[in-house]
Amino acid sequence: MIQKKTPRNKAHLVRRLVKLEYSDDQNMIEHLNTFKGIVNQLMKADMKIDDELQALLLLSSLPESWDTLLVTLSNSAPDGKLSLDNITDSLLNEESRKKERGSSSYLEANVVENRGRSEHRSKGKREKSRGRFKSRSKGLTCFYCGKDGHKKPECRFLNRDQKNGIVVNPKKKLEEKTTTAVVSDDANVFLISEVNYLNIAFDDCTWIVDTGASFHVTPHEGFFLSYQKGDFGTVKMGNHVTSKIVGIREVTLTIENGTRLVLKEVRHVPEMRLNLISVGKLDDAGMNNQFSDGKWKLYRGSMIVARGKKEGSLYCMQGKTYKGETNVAQEESKELWHKRLGHMSEKGLEILAKDHLQSIKGQPLELCEDCLAGKQRRVSFRRSENGRRKDHILDLVHSDVCSTSEKSLGGAQYFVTFIDDHSKKLWVYPLKRKDEVLRIFKEFHASVERETGRKLKCLRSDNGGEYRGPFEHYCKTHGIKHEKVPPKTPQMNGVAEKFNRTIAEKVRSMLSHAKLPKSLWGEAVVTAADLINLSPSRPLNGKIPEKVWSGKKASYHNLRVFGCKASVHIPKDERAKLDAKVKDCIYLGSPRDEFGFRLWDPANRKIVRSRDVVFFEDQTIQDIKKVENPTLKVISDQSPIVMNNLGGETRQTETNQELQLDEMAEEADQPNLTEVDQLIEDAPQEPQLRRSTRQKQPSRMYFSDEYVNFTDEGEPPSFVEAMEMKDKDKWLQAMEEEM
């Protein structure tokens, strides 16, 4: 755990450093790492300890049995000053010599105990041993791995290395067992823990969490997503063997809980046998480390990014890596669909990958900063038991009204939700005022009953004022049971409350990625509702709400990244001969009850609907060069405005007038464009036909590109509302002129 720079913590660390003692039965590597870890924590707390003082403190921690070495080091010190590096090397070498002397003495004693005549098996002849043989494996030390209880020929690590074709040097092997790696890079020195490393060195998925490390280290070049070769310093081992740091870059780990951890500036040391994670680097990245009860947890805020457990004296973490170019290609595909589906969770993407999006199956998903900006939440409270969902659609519908602090383009400041309990399908309607809830509910009621042929039986709300009075009267008139939860208990209306949170999280993430203003939340809310209906639902065991509701397979071919750049075709009657055929717009959604796509034209400051569009899903509004500091300004229109249940936020009411025949013929002369994201060359010229002499009449029903214009707040339906608007003086002047 990274401690704060308080005097109390500093005093605690100094006390630990002074009282630190080494015992003969302790591993020197463990002692050195403990010492160096305390020193590093003091340095992070702005406590400076020079090299000589560190060397003296380290020597003072040794017992009396090391006094001979202490005298030797004191007499050989140049200019009477000790160096921490020299002291460290000397202590490690002395420990190795002591172990070798102890093992040799015991082996000699063991040989003496092998008494009598002993004959060995040779050349196929079976000869028995006569005499007494006392085998005492207890206390033996293997010259290969350095562990007690067996000899070198019986060593399983030796057999494993020989099978893998690894060149083995027995003497060097024993030295490496008691070797500490000291890495020096730009005056940053740290110890790499190798206590009991032989148990984990050949497991590429294991990473050591080191509090004393200055940076991350790995011996595997294939772990890097991108790789930069160069000379980045050296690694000096305790046996005076040095290894170069030959590369540096990022390594991405997939943790067991499904999250991804990106390690920045990882050093590549081919001769190192460990994967090492620096706690200090994680702290610099804004993460919090927690060590307790033999477990390690890494937090980003309240979210657990990674976790590990203590093995021996080390904290280890299991993390899989994906090699270079394959990982990059896979990452783009899954991240693209993650953005297309409104920043869906990785679990939801995995469910879709089984049937609908098989191209992203098995790919990892990197931690998304836009998801953190929109979805990071507090630690969950204890989950209460939920009732069983209804057996049929429209048996129960949940409803709630959610307010926002920002007005939308159409002047909406609220939105009401309706959720079918059986299918979990969601409907969202933006509102200007709460008293519009009854009107919207009537539209919803008529629409769903006509679509399904079933009757709405029960509605559950939070007992707000908008659900009382005329609303209750309407429910009683149509035989709808209205369940109202008690005051100040939103948990009892948990389905609607949870959907409100899901919608808000998606909208925040979508607007964050698209770099769009908050006033576009109305369009984002409607699009988010469509995406939720196309996403796997946990209460449905991964099924799609839209499929459960309609019984038809959901379609994803019209989905694009919200807020991405889109090039829209301009009809030839709206452009000059030499003008460009396209204009840049911003994608806002694909309404379910409208043809084409809804887009925002920032140059003309209006909403446009078109089907002849080419998308650039890796670009946003910032990539449209001709728009600098785009502002949202809406254009007035005489057409009345009504809310749309699944389409955009608003739509114009359509008349029953028919298109003129000559206008249809003119549209037929236009080149036929294929679906959405395919570029089509101009069709070859055909023999010119005789033009009709009939005078053309413009359509009174649509503009040629089906523009949908609307005012910022709409035309006020009453005098009272007109006087509440910011331009009330102009409305008053207009009324006086008409009178």
Instruction: Supply the residues annotated as catalytic.
Output: 210
CA-based nearest residue to 350, from 341, 360, 342, 336: 360
* 8 Å CB contact between 409 and 524: no
Instruction: Give the C-alpha separation, 510 to 589, whole Å.
Output: 12
CA-based nearest residue to 278, from 345, 210, 341: 210
Q: One-letter amino acid identity for 22?
A: Y
Instruction: Give the C-alpha separation, 636 to 714, whole Å.
Output: 8
Instruction: Give the C-alpha separation, 320 to 363, whole Å.
Output: 12
Instruction: Give the C-alpha separation, 145 to 148, whole Å.
Output: 9
Within 13 Å of residue 221, how many CA atoms lie on the same side as its CB? Answer: 8
**DSSP assignment string, 502-526:** HHHHHHHHHHHHHT--GGGHHHHHH
* 8 Å CB contact between 143 and 174: yes
Structure tokens at 467: 């659900």
Beta strands 481-484 and 458-461 are parallel
Structure tokens at 248: 């540096």
Contacts of 476 (CB under 8 A, 6+ apart): 482
The secondary element (H helix, E strand) that includes residue 101 is helix 84-112
Structure tokens at 464: 């707000």
Instruction: Give the C-alpha separation, 448 to 545, whole Å.
Output: 15
Helix axes 28-44, 84-112, angle to 10 degrees: 160
Strands (E), 404-474: 414-420, 426-431, 458-461
Instruction: Give the C-alpha separation, 15 to 2, whole Å.
Output: 17
Instruction: Give the C-alpha separation, 374 to 342, whole Å.
Output: 11
Q: One-letter amino acid identity for 217?
A: V
Q: How far apart are the first and last CA of the chain?
A: 76
Structure tokens at 37: 């870890």
Q: Could you say which DSSP state residue 118 is in? A: -
Contacts of 87 (CB under 8 A, 6+ apart): 55, 58, 59, 73
